[in-house]
Amino acid sequence: MMEHLIPLTDEIILTKWIKSSKMSITRIPSRYVIVILTFMCTCVCYIERVGFSIAYTVAADNEGVSQSSKGTILSTFYYGYALSQIPGGWAAQKIGGRRVLLLSFILWSLTSALVPLDPNRVITLVIARLLVGIAQGFIFPSIHTVLAQWVPPHERSRSVSLTTSGMYLGAAMGMLLLPSLVKFKGPQSVFLFESCLGGIWCVLWFKFASDPPRSNHPKAAASGFGESLLPVKDGQRTKNEKVSKIKIPWGKIFLSLPVWAIVVNNFTFHYALYVLMNWLPTYFELGLKSSLQEMGSSKMMPYLNMFLFSNIGGVIADHVITKKIMSVTKARKVLNSVGFVVASVALIGIPYFKTVDGVVVCSSLALGFLALGRAGFAVNHMDIAPRYAGIVMGVSNTAGTLAGIIGVGLTGQLLETAKIMDSDLSDPDSWKPVFFIPGLLCVLSSVVFLLFSTGERIFD
């Protein structure tokens, strides 16, 4: 009898423990689960972007591809990304951000898994990068549609900041791990690794993500479960009216100065980010004669700094707003201005430092304070247009994507011109225009945000 009692007792204890664990998991608010999953989403996306830059740079250099040709291939992603931003916001509004997010992730993961990395097969690479760009273009408008539905206003800054900080953690992880993967397994292994990460995230999102409560109610679905009270005119919509019938005020969006303030700052932020993300590895290799493999963990510091400062900015913004230390408008303007002005100084200072450590410090400051500035402009679209957060994000992110096309391609042309003029790319001075342009843009865009932005809702 005793032989059977002991395992039976253990089984009862184990069953109780499992049940209590499940109960503790279910006590986690659903919106926190959504935010964590969207954080993981952006993390994986930026591992993919950094990974392609690292893998393609190695493969292209081995084949003797010119700097201008490298710039063309690296910028191709952003053409597809730009084309799908506004359609992504529209699709998220009409179909639902949760579904669109899953479909876009599946598409880019499959593309990365199936396309060979061969610098000589230019057309294949261009088509593949266009597809990946189109697929990922649906992701951020969908994320912001989902967050607008789930996150209440007093948690908005830190939730958006945490979600977007996944981009920087992903970039940091990519810079740390992927050069070694390329060295030991070859450039193609990066694509397969990224596809596996994408597949794992799809499974998690399918299993744990859900639509918000009352998602069939127009007020909840269109504007957000997180919004406590929304101005809805009597008789404007019936209770059972579908979200798809809601009219999107395209004209008002495109003519709004506060929207354009967000657009301008999104452009500048991504110009600086994409130039550093795509060309900083080349600057270390050519300008400072230092390989990424030999740099150790220091090469991830700029992106790790972005991860930290993004979350710091979100916490500060929510604190000063909820404690009524600052209005929403003032908080957004202060954080945006501080972030962009400090980033401007750091960007302009990069080519004046002739050592790897100096460039790492400068680029870390630049990207860190740019991330701090996201607590200003990047959350602002949810302040002024919570009902159309995905749409405004799509418009804004289109500008950010154009910055990738212009900045990454222009940098390649600048460097190729420097070579033609017998300038040595191993001299950091020849890289000054590369970093001066985003530095000056930071100052100009911060002025635009100070003049025209607002934290008040302007779209009902």
For 136-222, list the strands marked E by DSSP.
none
Residue-wise pLDDT for 146-185, tens only, equals 888 888 877 878 888 889 889 888 888 888 888 889 888 8
Q: Tokens standing for 187?
A: 């450039």
Please say if the pLDDT value at position 53 is more than 50. yes
Q: What angle do CA 426, 441, 290 make, to 5 degrees?
A: 20
Q: Is the pTM of this model over 0.85?
A: no
How far apart are alpha carbons 253 and 258 in whole angstroms? Answer: 9
Reported confidence tier of residue 36, pLDDT bands at 50, 70, 90: very high
- Is position 7 within any domain? no
pLDDT digits (tens, 9 = 90+) for 354-369: 788 888 999 999 999 9
Residue 223: predicted pLDDT: 39
Cβ proximity of 128 and 115 under 8 Å: yes
Q: Which two three-digit tokens encode residue 360? A: 């790492």
The Cα–Cα gap between 17 and 14 comes to 5
- Which tens digits make up the pLDDT trace of 429-448? 788 899 999 999 999 999 99
- What pLDDT is stored for residue 220 in this prediction? 39
**4 lies in a domain?**
no
Residue 228 has pLDDT above 60, yes or no: no
**Other beta carbons within 10 Å of 153:** 18
How much is the average pLDDT of 113-123? 84
252-295 tens-digit pLDDT: 989 999 999 999 999 999 999 989 877 887 888 787 777 766 66
Q: What is the pLDDT of residue 39?
A: 94
Whether the pLDDT of residue 25 is over 60: the answer is no
Residue 394 lies in a domain: yes
For the stretch 92-112, pLDDT in tens is 888 888 999 999 999 999 988
Higher pLDDT, 339 or 247: 339
- Tell me what pLDDT residue 344 has: 97
The verdict on residue 237 lying in a domain is: no
Among residues 434, 397, 88, 412, the alpha carbon closest in space to that of 267 is found at: 397
CATH number at residue 178: 1.20.1250.20
| 103 burial level (CB within 10 Å; 0-12, 13-18, 19+) | middle
Domain holding 119, by residue range, is: 34-210+249-452
Average pLDDT over residues 180-191: 89
State residue 2's pLDDT score. 41
> Per residue in 76-92, pLDDT tens?
888 888 888 888 888 88
Does a structural domain hold residue 79? yes
Report residue 178 as tokens. Answer: 């992927």
Instruction: Reply yes or no on whether the pLDDT at 455 is more than 50.
Output: yes
CA distance 438 to 408: 11
Note whether residue 283 is domain-resident.
Answer: yes
Mean pLDDT for the chain overall: 82
Q: Please say whether the dihedral angle defined by the alpha carbons of residues 355, 361, 364 and 370, taken in this order, is positive or negative.
A: negative
Cβ contact 266:400 at 8 Å: yes
Read off the DSSP letter of residue 283: I
Q: Are 413 and 68 in contact (CB under 8 A)?
A: yes
Highest mean pLDDT among 48-62, 315-329, 390-404 belongs to 315-329
Domain count along the chain = 1
Q: Is 54 exposed, middle or buried (0-12, 13-18, 19+ CB in 10 A)?
A: buried
Least confident among 16-30, 51-65, 398-412 = 16-30
Residue 222 lies in a domain: no
Residue 441 lies in a domain: yes
d(CA 434, CA 427): 13
